Structure 1
Amino acid sequence: MLLNEVLPILARYWPLVLVSSVLAFLLNNKYWKGLNKYPGHWLAGYTNWWRFWDVWGREHEWTILRLHREHGDVVRLGPNVLSFADPRAIKVIYGLNKGMVKSDFYPVQNAVSKGRRLQSLFSSTDEDYHSKYRRCVNNAFAMSSLVNYEPLVSSTLGVFLDETQKQYADSGKICSFSNWLQFFAFDVIGDLTWSKRLGFVEEHRDVDGIIAFLNKFLSYAGPVGQMPILDLFLEKNPIRMWAQRIGLSKSTFPVTVFAQKRSNERAGEIQKIKQYGLPENVSNPRGVDMLSKFAQAAHDHPEFMTDTQVLTSCVSMVFAGSETTAISLSSVFYFLLKHPRVYAKLMKELDDAVADGKIESRSDKSVSWAESQKLPYLDAVVQESFRIHPAPGNAHERIVPPQGMDILGNFVPGGTIVGCNAWVMHRRPEIFGADVDTYRPERWIEATPAQQKEMRGTMFQFGAGARTCIGKNVSLLEIYKLVPSFLRRFEIELDRPDREWKTHNAWFVRQSEFYTRFRPREASV
């Protein structure tokens, strides 16, 4: 038989066969689909291990920015991966009805409960599932719902300001501001989701180790998402998942347990909403929380919005709702402190607004959402912070439909992974000016209406298209309330003005070693 003849040859020459097979695999990767015409790191065309290790290095955002500045608007990141830097690509790749779907990078970030994946709006790659899910919960995240959520945010904001006064301003203690802001973001999510602060601020600790878990999980998901097959050998190993389903293993994501506990505390109330709907014409001064809205969605769409989807929605609030907002808040304050001229200019706007009656002079110095929208320089400061340090540090990956498509004059074969990176998009000189690496909020004031539209259309920190972050409005509500309120209440200074913070790209680019001191701002209006 042929097999009997081949096996001795393979046994004798196996080193040569192995080397030849590896070389054939690498060369196939390099020249497959004709993507070899696109420049990039020399290893990227041969193997995805290059981008795995680069993301593992925690500075991937700077690598991509450097590659695009060296090689142009299209850069190859892997055997089947292209990164686009031209802002016009956003509408092509993320626009409606383009046939693009999310890559396998996203399911790596699925939470797990009892051995089953929880497909969230963020992590699902099924566009039909996503559109049905989004229709169910869209109302909960609409801009019109902000009026319902503001009392909940204000509740946590008041406690946060008071605890800052007691723990840091009165004592003169040094504050790890990025951690403290993350505590605030988590407690806001607790109030918004369950009408209950979770204790991060009041207890000054990481409740149930959730922040530590999220940091560890995102640090895993970032690099492993570059080679998603690894996830099937690690966190979502089929044998491990099967053991959980039949009860041999009790391992469940701590975030899932955390969300389930909070939701179980109101099981009776939520069951009534799912059965009868939210009562109409009942005044609630604290606003209607997210869990109630998700339960209402289950009442309105019982065929789709099951208990699993309600739980998944709560888990997503913890996963995504805290991390990105905390990163953005840290960015706003850090760049203000690094640029005293900007800090002073913003304080003048706030004080003038109080004197002019645009901001009500409250005893706790808080600022409402509506008042914050009357402050153009505040908006410029926030937008410039988003621009210089967007929360996501990796590309938002999409898969080209089977028939292939033209992306700005480049025909890209079907099945190719393509994407844009916010750190690249936000530093395009033709959009934002020649000084794109400089923090300068005035660019948002000086821009003409046409330039403003183009600049805002290029901002990519919340993604774009149908898969834009659904919690965008909630995050903006937190940021535009906390920043002016905190600045009116406290004077802030860096503990070591000469020291730079450290960043860690774990898919989201979080910050550390951001140490500050606070003093009560007694002289404020």
Structure 2
Amino acid sequence: MLLPSLLAVLKVYYPVLLPLFLVSWLLYNKFHGGLNKYPGPSIAAYTNWWRFFDNLGRRTEYTHINLHRKYGDIVRLGPDCLSFADPKAIKIIYGLNKGFTKSDFYPVQNAVSKGRRVQSLFSTLNEAYHARYRRCVNSAFAMTSLVSYEPLIDSTMDAFLSQTQKLFANTGESCKFNKWLQYYAFDVIGEITWAKRLGFVERNEDVDGIIAFIDRFLSYAGPIGQMPVLDLLLEKNPIRLYCQRLGLSNTVFPVTAFAQARSAEREPEMAKIRANGLKDSPGRDKKGTDLLSKFVNAQHENPEFMTDMQVLASTVSMVFAGSETTAISLSAIFYYILKHPRVYRKLMAELDTAAQDGTIAPRDNLGVSWAETQKLPYLDAVIQESFRMHPAAGLCLERVVPKGGIDILGEHIPAGTIVGCNAWVLHRRPEIFGEDVDVYRPERWLEASEAQLRDMKGTMFQFGAGARTCIGKNISLMEVYKLVPSFLRRFEVDLEHPDRPWKTHNAWFVRQIDFNAKFRPRRPLQSV
């Protein structure tokens, strides 16, 4: 009796009740939790649609910088979302054992295989699961493991330098440098993960269209991640996933299929490792041990936890994050060097001096080893300043305040609130980096006192912070530090349009567009 009566009332009064419900919902969004005291765009307090449309504009990193410069250290970006600009917030939000978890932004980036989400270290919300998962694979990414990856990186770097010579330096052809660097990063990931270059550099093309897919997927994940419920209506629709599990649809994310195909090529070898573990041999040490072997060895050592799905998730993560962020960082470094001739000249003087005094050993391909790069202070300053000016991630790294709430920057933030910091904002703190924070000036890293340098390094956020720091950080750094000096010793580089700024596209990672360059062979000085 009650339900029919209620439906009858709704039928008569819905023209009044619907607007009343909408107004009540908007007012609740604005005032709940007391977040209305924090400044920000007016409409952002009422609905996350503001965040969605701002990210669709693909310039969110500058939106956040300008909002914090206008409103201060705490800005409200949504009904339940606060952005923090003070570096002191990093240790609270991302510190160990603080109880924060990742927000629903991250599962939007789950790959899908046979109707099931592929939970990765990056996207999982379960902190206990993450901790156990990370313990299984942590040794594969430790700084001490880098020695086993350098021969693999060298193999791809040799091919990349040779192809650059053949395709561009010898012909005078213009190069889409940002895309070319992405090909390099993908082939390095192939070499490190599967002990095989995937053909991006040799073929000078996007193999299997995987880069185009990742570009589309990240362009989807950025705005959809601002309103994750939309993902449940679109890519991760439960009905759609259920149909895939039943075999009514065989849709597989291209990046998942890509990783599965590469791993399948190594299955006989992996079966032995799965059964007996990874046994070192002189041949393996010389070649370098790839990540797939280490992931499967982790499966051998932790069979009750490290399943085939976890191994797949680990390789998928390498394709997703390992290539995109490194390519973005390399493009930024080369771009800023070329836009600042003074910096270019100073860096080349350091490289030539290091070659003359034996700091850099003579090699046929003019490559530079990882150990040698650690003795080049201006190279380090150039790379650090490029990381500062153009960190790969262009959105807040979101976390959810734990039960009971927590104090951040002297403010009590209620439980369930989404909080976070954006590297683009943190990297422009004048009290940390100097008043000229919008200027590219590598010398700041050499002029700083020991205390200042400690604060600067503690504020750098391009790899995140805390327990969820990018696990592939050390591999990415090796790729970057080796390629930049090796490339510059081998080629003279010029922007094709020096007076035209590049374009950027914030698809959650801020990738570059229209970064074209030309190369000429260079005869560098060698040691005497």
The TM-score with structure 1 as length reference comes to 0.99
Question: Which residue identity does 2:384 align to in structure 1?
Answer: Q
Matched residue, 1:288 = 289
Tell me the distance in 2 between the aligned counterparts of 1:347 and 1:172.
Answer: 22
Question: Which residue identity does 2:138 align to in structure 1?
Answer: N
Matched residue, 1:19 = 19
Contact 2:82 / 2:417 at 8 angstroms: preserved in 1?
yes
Matched residue, 2:313 = 312
1:365 aligns with 2:336: no
Question: Which residue identity does 1:201 align to in structure 2?
Answer: V
Tell me the distance in 1 between the aligned counterparts of 2:326 and 2:203.
Answer: 21
The equivalences for 1:115-130 within 5 A come to 115-130=115-130
Question: Which residue identity does 2:52 align to in structure 1?
Answer: F
Tell me the distance in 2 between the aligned counterparts of 1:250 and 1:4.
Answer: 43
Tell me the distance in 1 between the aligned counterparts of 2:497 and 2:2.
Answer: 75
**How many angstroms does 1:12 deviate by?**
3.0
Tell me the distance in 2 between the aligned counterparts of 1:302 and 1:90.
Answer: 36
SS in 1 for 2:77: strand
SS in 2 for 1:44: helix
**How many angstroms does 1:143 deviate by?**
0.2
**How many angstroms does 1:283 deviate by?**
3.8
Tell me the distance in 2 between the aligned counterparts of 1:404 and 1:435.
Answer: 36
SS in 2 for 1:201: helix
SS in 1 for 2:398: strand
Question: Which residue identity does 1:353 align to in structure 2?
Answer: A
The equivalences for 1:199-238 within 5 A come to 199-238=199-238
The equivalences for 1:121-140 within 5 A come to 121-140=121-140
The equivalences for 1:304-343 within 5 A come to 304-343=305-344
Question: Which residue identity does 2:404 align to in structure 1?
Answer: Q
Tell me the distance in 1 between the aligned counterparts of 2:2 and 2:127.
Answer: 48
**How many angstroms does 1:10 deviate by?**
3.0
Question: Which residue identity does 1:61 align to in structure 2?
Answer: E
SS in 1 for 2:43: coil
Matched residue, 2:519 = 518
Tell me the distance in 1 between the aligned counterparts of 2:332 and 2:426.
Answer: 18
CA RMSD of aligned residues (A): 1.0
1:447 aligns with 2:452: no
Matched residue, 2:458 = 457
Matched residue, 1:145 = 145
Question: Which residue identity does 1:364 align to in structure 2?
Answer: N
SS in 2 for 1:173: coil
Contact 2:490 / 2:524 at 8 angstroms: preserved in 1?
no
Tell me the distance in 1 between the aligned counterparts of 2:283 and 2:123.
Answer: 35
Greater shift in the superposed pair: 445-454 or 386-395: 445-454
Q: Deviations over 1:13-53 (max 9, x none)?
A: 32221111100000000001100000000001000000011
The equivalences for 1:70-469 within 5 A come to 70-284=70-284, 285-469=286-470
**How many angstroms does 1:224 deviate by?**
0.4
Tell me the distance in 1 between the aligned counterparts of 2:336 and 2:127.
Answer: 38
Contact 2:428 / 2:437 at 8 angstroms: preserved in 1?
yes
**How many angstroms does 1:5 deviate by?**
5.2
Question: Which residue identity does 1:375 align to in structure 2?
Answer: L
Tell me the distance in 2 between the aligned counterparts of 1:4 and 1:137.
Answer: 58
Q: Deviations over 1:350-398 (max 9, x none)?
A: 0000001000121211000000010000000000000000000000000
Tell me the distance in 2 between the aligned counterparts of 1:314 and 1:288.
Answer: 15
Q: Deviations over 1:436-489 (max 9, x none)?
A: 000000000001111111100100000000000000000000000000000000
Greater shift in the superposed pair: 273-282 or 183-192: 273-282
Tell me the distance in 2 between the aligned counterparts of 1:11 and 1:248.
Answer: 39
Question: Which residue identity does 1:466 align to in structure 2?
Answer: A
Q: Deviations over 1:36-82 (max 9, x none)?
A: 00000000100000001101110011001100000000000000000
Tell me the distance in 1 between the aligned counterparts of 2:265 and 2:456.
Answer: 45
SS in 1 for 2:45: coil
SS in 2 for 1:43: helix
The equivalences for 1:479-518 within 5 A come to 479-518=480-519
Q: Deviations over 1:82-102 (max 9, x none)?
A: 000000000000000000000
Question: Which residue identity does 1:41 align to in structure 2?
Answer: P
Greater shift in the superposed pair: 81-90 or 9-18: 9-18
Tell me the distance in 2 between the aligned counterparts of 1:267 and 1:6.
Answer: 62
**How many angstroms does 1:516 deviate by?**
0.3
Q: Deviations over 1:384-415 (max 9, x none)?
A: 00000000000000000111011110000001
Matched residue, 1:45 = 45
Contact 2:356 / 2:525 at 8 angstroms: preserved in 1?
no
Tell me the distance in 1 between the aligned counterparts of 2:14 and 2:295.
Answer: 59
Structure 1: gaps of 5 or more residues: none
Greater shift in the superposed pair: 8-17 or 513-522: 8-17
**How many angstroms does 1:280 deviate by?**
3.3
Distance 1:69 1:246, change over 3 A: same
SS in 2 for 1:518: strand
Matched residue, 1:28 = 28
**How many angstroms does 1:243 deviate by?**
1.0
**How many angstroms does 1:8 deviate by?**
4.2
Q: Deviations over 1:218-267 (max 9, x none)?
A: 00000000111110000011111011111111100001111111111110
**How many angstroms does 1:281 deviate by?**
4.5
Question: Which residue identity does 2:447 align to in structure 1?
Answer: E
Tell me the distance in 2 between the aligned counterparts of 1:223 and 1:151.
Answer: 39
Tell me the distance in 2 between the aligned counterparts of 1:523 and 1:221.
Answer: 44
SS in 2 for 1:83: strand
Tell me the distance in 1 between the aligned counterparts of 2:355 and 2:525.
Answer: 9
Distance 1:11 1:192, change over 3 A: same
Tell me the distance in 2 between the aligned counterparts of 1:168 and 1:442.
Answer: 32
SS in 2 for 1:396: coil
Greater shift in the superposed pair: 272-281 or 248-257: 272-281
Contact 2:352 / 2:524 at 8 angstroms: preserved in 1?
no
What percentage of aligned pairs have identical amino acids? 66
Q: Deviations over 1:166-223 (max 9, x none)?
A: 0000000000000000000000000000110000000000000000000000000000
Contact 2:398 / 2:420 at 8 angstroms: preserved in 1?
yes
**How many angstroms does 1:11 deviate by?**
2.5
Q: Deviations over 1:251-306 (max 9, x none)?
A: 00001111111111110110111111111344421100000110110111111111
Contact 2:489 / 2:524 at 8 angstroms: preserved in 1?
no
Question: Which residue identity does 1:489 align to in structure 2?
Answer: R
Question: Which residue identity does 2:59 align to in structure 1?
Answer: E
SS in 2 for 1:516: strand
Distance 1:343 1:95, change over 3 A: same
Tell me the distance in 2 between the aligned counterparts of 1:298 and 1:314.
Answer: 13
